[in-house]
Structure 1
Amino acid sequence: MPQIEELPEAGDGDIFPLTAVQQSYRLGRAADEPMGDVACHIYFEFDGPEIDWARMASAFLELQRRHSILRAAFPDDAEDAVILSEPVARLRVLDLTADQNGSHTRQLDRLRSEMSSQKMAVDQGHTMDVRLSVLPGRRSRLHIDIDHLAADHPGIRVLLSDLADLYVGHDGDPVGDFAAYRRAGHDDEPAPDIDAWRRRLADRELAPPPLPLTADPSTCSGARFARRGIELAPERWARLTRKAEQNEVEIGAVLLAAYAHTLGRWCANPDFLINLPVFDRPGSTRMVGDFTRLIVLTFDATGPGTLRELVDVVDVVAREYRSGRSPEFASAAAALRTIARKRKEATPLLGVVYTDLIETPWTTARFEETFGSMAWTITQSPQVWLDCVCFQHGGGVRMAWDAAEELFAPQVLDSMVEYCGSVLDAFVERLWDEALPDSLPRRQREARARVNASKRVESGKLLHQR
C-alpha cells in the first residue's frame, strides 16, 4: 500500500468510497430515518475587526481548491462521493452598516437560526458555507458552517487555520488528500471482535441512558438543537488539571465522569451505554476528511460512591483505548448491530454522545488576530438527542450540551447541567475520597421549598373548635 505522502491528489470526476461513519451521516439526512432529517455539522460565529470581503471571497475559493474534500459531492443514494473540478460555494456578504439603532441583531439572530439548523446541498458539492456580516463601527461577524461529511473535528481546525493563512497571503503547510487516501484502501473499518463485545455487554441492555424524554426518539425527525453548558474559567481549569495530575488520571476522564454520573442521576436504569467519537487520524495530521470512529462506554451509575471511584471507572476505559489493548473498541457500531441481531433485537439508537475536543483549541493565534474570537458555536447530528462537547475556550474549557430540545421536558436539561456543574466543582474543591455530591438542583430545591411552605397564622383555637 503506498505511503500517504506518495498519493496523488484527487482530480475532476475521481470517485472515492465513503467511510462507515460518513454513510451513517448521509443516511441520517433522510426524513424517514429515526431522528433523521438532520445534517451532521458544526456552525461557528466569530466576532472581530473589519474584514476585506474581496480577500475573504478569494481565500474561501482557494481553500476549496486546496482541499479537494470541499469539492466532493455526496449523492443521496450512493456509497461513494465524487470530486468536482471547481468549487461551488461562494462567500455571501450581508451589509448591516446602515443600521445604527441595533436592529441588526434581529437579522443576525435569523441568520444564526438558519445556518445552525441547515442541510447544505452536499449532493451538489456544498459542504462548507461561509458568510460575512459587515457591522456598524467597522466590525464584522464571520459565520462558518461545515458538514462533517467533509471534515471531522481535527480537520475543521485545519480548515479554519488555512482560511486565515490564505486570507493574509500565507501558503500554509502541505496537506494530504482524503479522496486519494480512501481510494488507496486506507481507513477501512476493521472487523469487530464480537466475542470481546459480547463479554463486555453480557447481561446489559443495548440502550442509551433512559432519560426522562417526552417522546420516543425513534418516531421523531427534523429536530432543532439548542445549546447550554458549563464554563470552567482558566483558573479553575488549571486547578482541575492539577488535581487530575495529582491523582494520576487523564483530565478528559474527569469531564466524562461528571457527565456520565449526571446522566445516571436522571436515568430510570442506571446501567447504560454512551457513544464516544474518536478520531484515528493518519500520520499526516493536516489531511482533511472524516476519520471518526465510534466507541462505546459502558457505565453503571450504581457502582461509584466517591469522586475517586467515579473517575477511575472512566479513566480505565480511556487508558485501555489509547493503549490499543482493547480490540473491542474497534467498530463499535458494527459490533452492536451484530449482537442485537443475535439477540433478535432492533439495532439501538445510541443517541447520547460525549465528544472530547480539549486537546487543541479550535483556532490559531493568526485566525483570532485576523477574524476575531469565537462568539458562538453549536453542533447538530442525526440520530442524536444529546451531545456533550468539551473544548478549549478563552484559556479555560467549555462543556457544551447540545440537545434536541423538543424531546426533553421543561427545565430537565437546565437541572442536569446545573448538577453536572456541581460535580465538577466537587472535583475542583474537594478531596477525591469524599462522597459524590447529593444535592438537588436549585430549581428542585426551590420547588420543594414552595410546596412545603405551609405555615399560616395560628387561630388560637383547638382542632375541635375550628
Structure 2
Amino acid sequence: MNQNAAEIISDAARQGVKLWVEDGKLRFRTEHGRLPDELRAAIKANRSQIMDELEHGGSSSFQAHPEDAHQPFPLTDVQSAYLLGRRDSVSGGGVSCHAYFEIGARELEVADIQRAYETVVAAHDALRTRFDEAGFQQVLPVSQVEVPRIVEAHSDDESALLDLREQMSHMVHDASVPPLMGIGYSTHGSVRTVHVSIDFLVADWTGIMRILDDLFEVAHGRSLSQEPARITFRDYVLALQAEDDSEAREYWQGRLGDIALGVDVPMCSGEWEKRFTRLECTLDETEWDCFRKVAQSMEVSPSALLLALYAQVISFWSAQERNAITVTLFNRRPYHEDVPKLVGDFTSTGFAVLGSSESTLRELAHQAAGELMAIVEHSAYSGVKVIRDVVKQLDGETPSYPFVFTSAVADDRSSEFEHSWSIDYGITQTPQVGIDFQAATIGGALHVNWDVRAGVLAPGVPEAMFDAFRRALSDAASGAAPAGEPLAVALPAAQGAARAAHQAALDAAAEGRSWAPGLLQDAFLARAAEDPLAPAVSGPGAESATRGGLAAMARAAAASIAAAGVEPGSRVGVCAARGASQVACAYGALLAGCAYVPLSPTVPEARRARIAERAGLSALLCDGDAPWWGGAAIAAPRPGDDAPAGWEPPAQAAPGDPAYVIFTSGSTGEPKGVVVSHAAALNTVRDVCARFS
C-alpha cells in the first residue's frame, strides 16, 4: 500500500513509535523495543520526506507547476525500458507492456461506454500522454486528442467476443498517439462484454484500476470516483529524478555479482513468440485467511511467503539453486498528500536472489522478506539501472531474467481490491519476460496469475512449474508444508514417465557396450607406461609432447596442486593455451583427485572470473598472469617438468565423482555449468571409440 510521509508518521504513532528530527537526523522511540520490519522499510525508503514533513509540514521539498502541465518531461527508467522492449531488434522484445481485460457490461449500451471513454480521457492526463523514444513524454490538451470510436462485434455465439479478444489482447498502441487505450464492445445473445486494451506506459496496475473505476462509474451515470489531484505526474517525475540515489546505488553495486546469476532454466533456442497465455489459481476466502495466518506465524508478510514459494519452485527447474527474480514495486514516493490520487506509471523494479534446497520454508520466507525490504529501501536506484550496471560489468553480456514477481496483496484486508465491476478474462504481456507472476486479493480471495510468453521455456515446462507452485501454495495454506522443513516439490508424473522412457531407450542402445567403471585418466597413464615415446600431443603452433613427457607434466601439476593445500574432491581451474601444457593441467587435476574446470584464455576476464566464482574453484592452473583470479595462480607445467622424486598422488576419486565441469557459452547471458563424472566421461570416450573403430 502506498503511503505519504504524513501517513507513515501516523501509522508509526498507531504502532507506538514516535518519530522526530534531532541534529539533522531522524530519530525514533518505540514502546515495544523493536521497530516493526515493514514500518522500518517504509521509514528508511522515505527518510527525507518524513524529515521534511516533521520539520516543515512537507511544504519545502515539492512544488507543483500547473503552468507547465503540457511541457515535455523525462520518461521514467521503466517507461524507457518498455519503449525499448517494443523493438523487434531487442532480445525478447517485439511486444508492448500491455494489459487486456474483458468485463461484463450487463445493461450498459455502447453509447454509455463511449461517453465514459471520452470523459476519462479528458479527466486523466495519463490517457492524453504521448511517449517518444528520444526519452520524453508529453501531456496533450484535451482539444488535441481524438478519442477513437468503440469497436463493436455482435454474434449469436461467442465468435464476436473471441474475434475482439484476438484483435485486442496483444495490441501494440502507437506510443506517439494518445490515448494508448482501446475499447471494444461485444454481444452474443444477452451477454454484453466491454473489452479494454491499455498500455502500461500510461499507468501502473493501481492507475489502471482507477481508470476502469472511473469508466464504469461514468458509464452508469455517476460522477468520477474522486477529486482531481492538485499536482501532476510531471511534477512527481521531476521530483523523483532530482532525488539523491547515491545510497541506493551503492547498495545495488554491492549486489551486482549476485544479480548476475540470472536464472538458468530450460529455455528455447529460437525467437520468443509474440503471444502470452495465462495460468491461474485461487485460494478462496477461508484458504487465504489460513495462508495469511501461516505467514504471520513465520513473522513474514504474505507477499514474502508467496515469493519464497515462487523462488523455490524456480530453483527445482534451474541448474543453479539461487536465482535472480525481478520484483515489481508500485512505489509512490510521498512527496505530496495528493500523490495517491495521481494516475501514471509509478512502477520500479528490484531483484530478489533466492533459493536453497537446504533452507527450511521458514528460512526461505525470511530471506524473501529481507529481499523485499531491501528493494523498498533502495528503490531510488531502479532495477533498469542495475541491469545496465550488470551488463557493463559482464562486458556486454546480459544474463537472463525471465521471471518476474508482482504482489498487490497486503498484510491485512484493508487494501483488497473492491470494484463495482469484475474481470471475466484478462491477459498481460511484458517485453523480455517469460513468466510474469501476479498476485492480488479480490473479493476476499487470493488470485494468482502466471502470464507466460510462448517460445521462451521448453514446451510443458511452464505448466509443470505452475502445477508445482499451485500444490505448494495449497500445502502452505493447509499446513501440509511444514515451516521447519525444506519445501518438497514432487516430479510431475509426465516428466517422470518421459525420463524413464528416455533412460530405457539409452539402456537399450548401450546394451552390449558396457564396461567396468574406471577413472578418466587410467587409460592414458597405462598407455604412457607401455609406450612413453609415442606422440601424445602435437599441432601447428602448439606445444608437443610424448606420452611419457605428458604424464610427467601431469604429475608435476598434481604435485603443485597438492603442495598448495588443495584437498582431493575440490575443483581446479585450467586456463592455458591449447597444447601440451593445457592437457597436462587437466590430467594433473585428475591425478590430484580433483575435478578440472576449463577456462578459455580468449574470453573476457570478467567472464572467466564469473565462471570461477560459480564453479567454486579452490585453485587455478594458468600459463600466464591472472589478475581476474584474485589470488595466486599455480604455474602450468612446461615440457620437461615432473613431480619431485618420491612423490605419490593423493587418494584417487571414485568413478562416480566429478571429473570435470564444463560451462556452456551462456547464450541467454549467463554461463551454465554441467558436471560430468569419471564414469560418464570414460564410457562416452569408449562408446565413441567403439562406434568408429
**Category of TM-score, reference length = shorter chain:** 0.7 to 0.9
Q: CA deviation at 1:7?
A: 4.1
Aligned counterpart, 1:419: 468
Q: Which of 331, 354, 360 is equivalent to 1:299?
A: 354
For the structure 1 residues 182 and 249, does the alpha-carbon distance in structure 2 shift closer, same or farther, using more than 3 Å as the test? closer
Aligned counterpart, 2:291: 240
Aligned counterpart, 2:280: 229
Q: CA deviation at 1:67?
A: 0.6
Aligned counterpart, 2:263: 209
For the structure 1 residues 395 and 10, does the alpha-carbon distance in structure 2 shift closer, same or farther, using more than 3 Å as the test? farther
SS of corresponding position for 2:351: strand
SS of corresponding position for 1:122: coil
Confirm whether residue 384 of structure 1 aligns to residue 439 of structure 2: no
Confirm whether residue 155 of structure 1 aligns to residue 173 of structure 2: no
Confirm whether residue 136 of structure 1 aligns to residue 189 of structure 2: yes
Deviations 1:101-139 (A, max 9, x none): x2xx123223212212110122111311121213322x3
- The answer to whether the 8 Å contact 2:77/2:384 transfers is no
Measure the CA separation in 1 of the matches of 2:290 and 2:490: 23
Q: Which of 117, 132, 147 is equivalent to 2:170?
A: 117
Q: CA deviation at 1:442?
A: 3.5
Aligned residue pairs total 432
SS of corresponding position for 1:90: coil
Q: Which of 316, 331, 334 is equivalent to 2:370?
A: 316
For the structure 1 residues 93 and 116, does the alpha-carbon distance in structure 2 shift closer, same or farther, using more than 3 Å as the test? closer
**Equivalent position amino acid for 1:58 in 2:** R
Measure the CA separation in 1 of the matches of 2:496 and 2:386: 43
Aligned counterpart, 2:126: 69
Any residues of structure 2 matched to 1:48-127 within 5 Å, and which? 48-75=105-132, 77-86=133-142, 87-96=145-154, 99-100=155-156, 102=157, 105-127=158-180
- Higher mean displacement: 443-452 or 291-300: 443-452
Measure the CA separation in 2 of the matches of 1:330 and 1:163: 34
**Equivalent position amino acid for 2:111 in 1:** A
Q: Which of 430, 438, 450 is equivalent to 1:401?
A: 450
Structure of higher RCO (CA pairs closer than 8 Å, 6+ residues apart): 1
Deviations 1:195-234 (A, max 9, x none): 43343344x4614311101126xxx355211111222222
**Equivalent position amino acid for 2:460 in 1:** Q
Aligned counterpart, 1:262: 313
For the structure 1 residues 250 and 275, does the alpha-carbon distance in structure 2 shift closer, same or farther, using more than 3 Å as the test? same
Aligned counterpart, 1:287: 342
Deviations 1:261-307 (A, max 9, x none): 11100001222211111011144212001111111111133441x22
**Equivalent position amino acid for 2:203 in 1:** A
Measure the CA separation in 1 of the matches of 2:400 and 2:493: 31
Measure the CA separation in 2 of the matches of 1:161 and 1:440: 43
For the structure 1 residues 439 and 351, does the alpha-carbon distance in structure 2 shift closer, same or farther, using more than 3 Å as the test? closer
SS of corresponding position for 1:140: strand
- The answer to whether the 8 Å contact 2:357/2:486 transfers is no
Q: Which of 23, 28, 35 is equivalent to 2:85?
A: 28
SS of corresponding position for 1:293: strand
Aligned counterpart, 1:43: 100
Aligned counterpart, 1:462: none
For the structure 1 residues 235 and 179, does the alpha-carbon distance in structure 2 shift closer, same or farther, using more than 3 Å as the test? closer
Measure the CA separation in 1 of the matches of 2:64 and 2:380: 30
Measure the CA separation in 2 of the matches of 1:299 and 1:208: 11
Q: CA deviation at 1:363?
A: 5.0
SS of corresponding position for 1:111: helix
Measure the CA separation in 2 of the matches of 1:336 and 1:249: 28
Query: Unpaired runs of 5+ in structure 2?
Result: 1-58, 505-693
Larger Rg: 2
- The answer to whether the 8 Å contact 1:17/1:182 transfers is no
For the structure 1 residues 433 and 302, does the alpha-carbon distance in structure 2 shift closer, same or farther, using more than 3 Å as the test? closer
- Percent identity over the alignment? 26
The alignment's TM-score, normalised by the length of structure 1, stands at 0.84
- The answer to whether the 8 Å contact 1:128/1:147 transfers is yes
Measure the CA separation in 2 of the matches of 1:445 and 1:183: 51
Measure the CA separation in 2 of the matches of 1:114 and 1:48: 19
Confirm whether residue 197 of structure 1 aligns to residue 255 of structure 2: no
Deviations 1:15-71 (A, max 9, x none): 222111111111111121111111101111112412122122111101011111101
Measure the CA separation in 2 of the matches of 1:329 and 1:14: 24
Aligned counterpart, 1:459: none
Deviations 1:391-420 (A, max 9, x none): 224431121111112222221111101111
Measure the CA separation in 1 of the matches of 2:141 and 2:272: 34
- The answer to whether the 8 Å contact 2:261/2:324 transfers is yes
Measure the CA separation in 2 of the matches of 1:331 and 1:382: 17
Measure the CA separation in 2 of the matches of 1:188 and 1:417: 41
For the structure 1 residues 81 and 197, does the alpha-carbon distance in structure 2 shift closer, same or farther, using more than 3 Å as the test? closer
Measure the CA separation in 2 of the matches of 1:291 and 1:328: 11
- The answer to whether the 8 Å contact 1:194/1:328 transfers is no
Deviations 1:312-356 (A, max 9, x none): 21122223445x3xx377323313322432342424452321111
Confirm whether residue 433 of structure 1 aligns to residue 468 of structure 2: no
Q: Which of 59, 66, 69 is equivalent to 1:8?
A: 66
SS of corresponding position for 2:147: coil
For the structure 1 residues 329 and 119, does the alpha-carbon distance in structure 2 shift closer, same or farther, using more than 3 Å as the test? same
For the structure 1 residues 234 and 390, does the alpha-carbon distance in structure 2 shift closer, same or farther, using more than 3 Å as the test? same
For the structure 1 residues 73 and 320, does the alpha-carbon distance in structure 2 shift closer, same or farther, using more than 3 Å as the test? closer
For the structure 1 residues 411 and 173, does the alpha-carbon distance in structure 2 shift closer, same or farther, using more than 3 Å as the test? same
- The answer to whether the 8 Å contact 2:85/2:93 transfers is yes
- CA-atom RMSD in angstroms: 2.8
- The answer to whether the 8 Å contact 2:349/2:383 transfers is yes
The alignment's TM-score, normalised by the length of structure 2, stands at 0.58
- The answer to whether the 8 Å contact 2:233/2:342 transfers is no
SS of corresponding position for 2:182: strand
Measure the CA separation in 2 of the matches of 1:424 and 1:437: 12
- The answer to whether the 8 Å contact 1:178/1:289 transfers is no
For the structure 1 residues 329 and 229, does the alpha-carbon distance in structure 2 shift closer, same or farther, using more than 3 Å as the test? farther
Aligned counterpart, 2:495: 444
**Equivalent position amino acid for 2:78 in 1:** V
Deviations 1:420-464 (A, max 9, x none): 1121122122331234224222333455688899xxxxxxxxxxx
Measure the CA separation in 1 of the matches of 2:167 and 2:153: 17
Measure the CA separation in 1 of the matches of 2:401 and 2:259: 12
SS of corresponding position for 2:120: helix
**Equivalent position amino acid for 1:215 in 2:** S
**Equivalent position amino acid for 1:89 in 2:** V
Query: Unpaired runs of 5+ in structure 1?
Result: 454-466
For the structure 1 residues 199 and 19, does the alpha-carbon distance in structure 2 shift closer, same or farther, using more than 3 Å as the test? closer
Any residues of structure 2 matched to 1:174-189 within 5 Å, and which? 174-176=227-229, 178-182=232-236, 184-187=238-241
